[in-house]
Amino acid sequence: MFSGKSTLSVIGTPPSAASVEQPQARVELRDDQIVIHEKIQFDFDKATIKEASCGLLNEVADVIRKHPRFDGLPLKAMRARRAGRTNLSSPKPSER
């Protein structure tokens, strides 16, 4: 709580609800693809997914549940090579 005796005046008008940008969804359905805008994080040198990515994977699962035509489709992972290692993130030039 402030204990001063003076007040602070705020001048201007707040932005309208239409002008406030909504954050981009982390997972979206675009054409016939589920697009994930964040990287799924894996433990270093392991195939285990970090707990930090659980919420993101839940969002992917929600999209699949809402659009049953995606249920049972194979997943395609995009890879990027860095210093001889393969990371799941972006497609190789031959996969583009």
Pick 73 or 25 by higher pLDDT: 25
> Scanning the structure block, which residue is given the tokens 């249920």?
71
Mean pLDDT on 57-78: 77
Long-range pairs, 53-58, Cβ under 8 A, ≥24? 56/26, 56/27
Evaluate whether 27 touches 36 at the Cβ level (below 8 Å). yes
Which tokens sit at 4? 């001063």
* Separation CA 40–CA 78 (nearest Å): 11
Q: Of 4-18, 47-61, 64-78, which one has max mean pLDDT? A: 47-61
pLDDT of 22 strictly over 90: no
